[in-house]
Chain A
Amino acid sequence: MEVISDIIGIVFTYVLVSNVILTQFLGLCPFIGVSKNTESAVGMGFAVTFVITLATLFTWMLYNWLLVPAGLEYLKVISFILVIASLVQFVEMFVKKNSPSLYKALGIYLPLITTNCAVMGIALLVVEVEKLSLFNSVLAGFSAGIGFLVAILLMSAIREQLEIEWVPKGLKGTPIAFISAGLMAMAFMAFDKALLMNLVG
């Protein structure tokens, strides 16, 4: 029971309560840059999910099995960058070789997020601040990716509609996108820890 409520708690926290974009304001660059149409937004969302999940797995192992025993915790930022960047490169090559169709769907987005702050932020958060176990870290990473996917998908739907609505000239394009993102962030404030407590006890 303990495990299940843990899982629910982590998923709920990272998808909704501390949504990587709308609550923690990480990864705004792809959020604004790639949310112009739903198709690319979905591609980007899945690529981010994929990368964050893998990155949390590897950075957790690096941090807890290498850096902590060697007393090198202060090198976490630079070593995480190294590991995440080369990991994404490696995965890109691997996918290109073994699954051309997956490469077509995700390939162009992968290099864009090699050193994205959302990936880095979640990795640092789960291994250092929250100190989760390996499984929970990977789950948290996956949930954060899904949170990103949800946010960018909603955003792309809003922006597709904004394209055909009348918008004041000075706000056309990115400004109105930021205003919408701000309103979405306010709406996401409804999901908070108290709600979570009531749900899982």
Chain B
Amino acid sequence: MNIVLGILFAIISIGILGALLGALLSFASEKLKVEEDERVKNLEAILPQYNCGACGYSGCSGYADAVINGGEEINKCTPGGESLLVSISALLGVEATNKERMVAQVHCRGGQETSKDQYNYDGIKDCNAKYQLYSGDKLCKFGCLGDGSCINVCPVNAISYDEDNLVWVDKDKCVGCEKCVDICPTNVMKMIPYTADYIVACSSQEKGKDVKNKCSVGCIACSICVRKFPEAGFVVDKNLSSVDYTIKSDRTAVSEACPVKCIIHPYKEK
């Protein structure tokens, strides 16, 4: 009889404890309910969810909140591009002008064959680690170190090696979040317009003679592109040629005239 009473007592006390805690929780779930803004939720749902931070906010939810509650512009999401802009406009009834789509590209084509090394690197495969050691293994201090830190950081896998172990950005996959630009220790990753037809694939600011000694595809600042083709929009500054993309012009002839052939298409020719 005592055993039965004991069991009953235990069952009842646990039952009461459970009922109390259950009541507390159900009460709390009513009392502490968080009113979530439907508009923020809906907007967040159509954002790309890369959480890349290109908009300047901590993630897609932060940006959605800023747009709804902070009056932020709706064209800050580079990954979403034009199609997203259209759907946000439809959702919120706000008009906004599109920014030009920007994509990243490596401004260096110095590889094993073309660019000389100053030592043999045998450490961990990371550009920033390599850069710690005499600014990388290349003689040229401005070139791509080729260890693929940008490949690892890219949220959409737009960056890859080609058969010569050179790094290329696929401009159709690139969402323009600039994470690769931030991580690259030598700053060879630069943003160009999606429509750009040619880039100067070199970042070296050294004198032409020094560049020639270190790399066979580096810009030697000969200024042929500026003098022979004044309409093409080339500028030579700090011993390096660059393209002014606001000027629309056919640059094919310039590419052919470049003596070191470093004016190339910003994509791998198939």
Contacts and interface: CB of A to CB of B under 8 A. Distances in A.
A97 interface: yes
Interface residues of B, number: 18
Interface string A161-185: 0001100000000000000000000
A34 B228 CA distance: 60
A79 B32 contact: no
A93 B10 contact: no
A164 B125 contact: yes
A165 B268 CA distance: 32
Interface string B1-23: 00000000110011001100110
B34 interface: yes
Given A86-B24, A96-B34, A164-B125, A78 B29 contact: no
A94 B32 contact: yes
A83 interface: yes
B156 interface: no
Given A82-B21, A90-B24, A164 B10 contact: no
Contacts of A90: 24-25, 28
A75 interface: yes
B124 interface: yes
A70 B13 CA distance: 9
A82 B18 contact: yes
Given A94-B32, A96-B32, A83 B21 contact: yes
A79 B14 CA distance: 7
B10 A75 contact: yes
Nearest to A100: B34
Nearest to A163: B124
A75 B34 CA distance: 35
Contact of B25 (A72, A75, A86, A96): A86
Contact of B29 (A74, A82, A93): A93
B72 interface: no
A91 B161 CA distance: 49
Contacts of B34: 96-97
A89 interface: yes
Interface in A93-151: 93-94, 96-97
A78 B28 contact: no
A80 to B, nearest CB: 11
A74 B3 CA distance: 14
B126 interface: yes
A74 B25 CA distance: 25
A82 B14 contact: yes
Contacts of A72: 9-10, 13
Interface string B242-267: 00000000000000000000000000
Interface string B24-40: 11001100111000000
30 contacts: A70-B13, A72-B9, A72-B13, A74-B10, A75-B10, A75-B14, A78-B14, A79-B14, A79-B17, A82-B14, A82-B17, A82-B21, A83-B21, A86-B21, A86-B22, A86-B24, A86-B25, A90-B25, A90-B28, A93-B28, A93-B29, A93-B32, A94-B28, A94-B32, A96-B34, A97-B32, A97-B34, A164-B125, A164-B126, A165-B124
Given A75-B13, A86-B24, A164-B126, 7 more contacts: A70-B13, A78-B14, A82-B17, A83-B17, A86-B22, A97-B33, A164-B124
Which are the 7 A-B pairs with shortest beta-carbon distances?
Answer: A86-B21, A97-B32, A93-B32, A164-B124, A93-B28, A90-B28, A96-B34
